[in-house]
Amino acid sequence: MKTLLITGGAGFIGSHLVRFMVNKYPEYRIINLDKLTYAGNLENLRDVEEKENYLFVKTDINDADAVQKVFDEFDISGVIHLAAESHVDRSITNPTEFIYTNIVGTINLLNAARHQWKDKPEEHLFYHVSTDEVYGSLGDTGLFTEATAYDPRSPYSASKASSDHLVRAYFHTFKLPVVISNCSNNYGGYQFPEKLIPLMIHNISNNKPLPVYGKGLNVRDWLYVDDHTSAIDLIFHKGTLGETYNIGGNNEWTNIDLVNLLCRIMDEKLGHPEGTSEKLITYVTDRAGHDLRYAIDSSKLQNELGWEPSLQFNEGLEKTVEWYLANEGWLNNVTSGDYQKYYDNMYKNR
């Protein structure tokens, strides 16, 4: 039996990936390694926790000994590394946390894998999940390709860029078998409501202001989370060692157009008169160093491995809204306590 270690499996993308892998590959043992920070929630995986091929280990990737212990205990054949501090705004308030988890945490995993796999590295794989934000910010035209020079501009993206460089360095220096993907903005169920789409859905449901940063003209390329998961599966099984693959939705939206679309979908679903939610839109102080535009060229992944996104944006967004409306209990649980303090603090002076 192959044992696959997925880090950050209790988070947004990680929980979708764990569920997908547990169900698709009953012959694999899937170990979910997660510290359970504010963003990690085992409720996300309730439907797979009883499965025989699933195991959760609560571990902090910043703790090198604890990480090594997991590698000593289980015969891990592959790692898919997602554990990270992932929210740009938090990286502006508290950059240091991002350096520990995203850089030191990654090198702890690389060291443990290198040590454990030294006899037969070719039978293993370290897959590092990264972001398009490492490429910096685009102007009105152009797309990020795998050859675009790194130009990270927030503490979050700088820490992710650093981890990407370390993963490549371990490939070149120590011949550790690695692969990297850089993906655009994901959306879907189970996303922590500090991120744009679930935050807006939650605020509309509670008749709260919708805080749009700056003029709302920044552009993001949105991809349904299960399409990211299917790309990871493909790259993990068929990707070329040492290579990088960009993943994106070819689906660019300005924030304000996206929020307007969400408002229309929410009005319809909640039976409110058209225009009700749009009245909640409030322009607030911009994010410091706010990257203008991200857009991904994923033709390498499409041409070499045959991947393509499965959902049109309207369909995916509607599905997402329906998920949050049907899972109000989940939203209320994650928005109580610490998150409420974070929210009050983040938006009080905007």
Chosen residue from 91, 131, 148, 230 binding ligand DAU by CB under 6 A: 131
Residue 156 is a catalytic residue: yes
Choose between 177 and 198: whose C-beta lies nearer to ligand DAU: 198
Residue nearest to ligand NAD (CB): 11
Burial of 277 (0-12, 13-18, 19+ CB in 10 A): buried
Instruction: Indicate which of ligand NAD, ligand DAU, none lies near residue 255 (CB less than 5 to 8 Å, by partner kind).
Output: ligand DAU
Q: Using the minimum distance from each CB to ligand DAU, give the nearer residue, 30 or 161.
A: 161
Q: Which of 156, 170, 190, 343 is catalytic?
A: 156
Q: How many residues bind ligand NAD (CB under 6 A)?
A: 29
Residue from 4, 37, 199, 262 touching ligand NAD (CB under 6 A): that is: 37
Residue 212 binds which of ligand NAD, ligand DAU, none (CB < 5-8 A, kind-dependent): ligand DAU
211 binds, among ligand DAU, ligand NAD, none (CB under 5 to 8 A by kind): ligand DAU
Q: Are 116 and 76 in contact (CB under 8 A)?
A: yes
Residue 316 contacts ligand NAD per CB under 6 A: no
Which of 177, 193, 258 has its CA nearest to residue 222? Answer: 258
Assess whether 257 carries a catalytic annotation: no
Q: Rounded to whole angstroms, what are the CA distances from 10 to 32, 36, 37, 88, 203?
A: 7, 7, 9, 19, 24
The structure tokens 């604890």 sit at 66
The amino acid occupying position 135 is Y
Sign for the CA dihedral angle at 45, 80, 201, 199 comes to positive
Spatial distance between the Cα atoms of 152 and 298, rounded to a whole number of angstroms? 19
Count other C-beta atoms under 10 Å from residue 238's C-beta: 12
Is residue 199 part of the contact set for ligand DAU (CB under 6 A)? yes
208 binds ligand DAU (CB under 6 A): no
287 lies in the binding site for ligand DAU (CB under 6 A): yes
Window contacting ligand NAD (CB under 6 A); options: 35-43, 234-242, 317-325, 336-344: 35-43
Strand partners of residue 158: none
Shortest Cβ distance from residue 255 to ligand DAU (Å)? Answer: 5
In DSSP terms, 125 is beta-bridged to 78
**Phi, psi of 50, deg, nearest 5:** -90, -5
DSSP structure class, residue 194: T
Question: What 3-state class would DSSP assign to 207?
Answer: coil
Distance of CA 341 to the CA centre of its chain: 23
Of 163, 160, 79, residue with least CA distance to 121: 79
Whether residue 132 lies in the annotated active site? yes
Rule CB under 6 A: is residue 56 a binding residue for ligand NAD? no
Task: Using CB under 6 A, pick the residue from 33, 79, 176, 196 that binds ligand DAU.
Answer: 196
Q: Residue 129, interface with ligand NAD (CB under 6 A)?
A: yes
- By residue count, the chain amounts to 350
Nearer to ligand DAU, 48 or 61 (CB): 61
Q: Of the candidates 88, 138, 176, 247, which one interacts with ligand DAU according to CB under 6 A?
A: 88
Give the β-pairing of 219-224 and 125-131: unpaired
Interaxial angle between packed helices 225-238 and 12-24, expressed in degrees from 0 to 180 and rounded to the nearest 10: 60
| Cα 65 to Cα 5, 151, 213, 330, distances in angstroms | 16, 33, 41, 34
Of 34, 60, 132, 252, the catalytic one is: 132
Which of the residues 34, 60, 133, 226 is marked catalytic?
Answer: 133
| Footprint on this chain of ligand DAU (rule: CB under 6 A) | 86-88, 131-133, 184-185, 195-196, 199, 211-213, 218, 220, 255, 287, 294
| Footprint on this chain of ligand NAD (rule: CB under 6 A) | 8, 10-14, 34-37, 39-40, 60-62, 82-86, 101, 105, 129, 131, 160, 183, 185-186, 192
Please give the positions annotated as active site. Answer: 132-133, 156
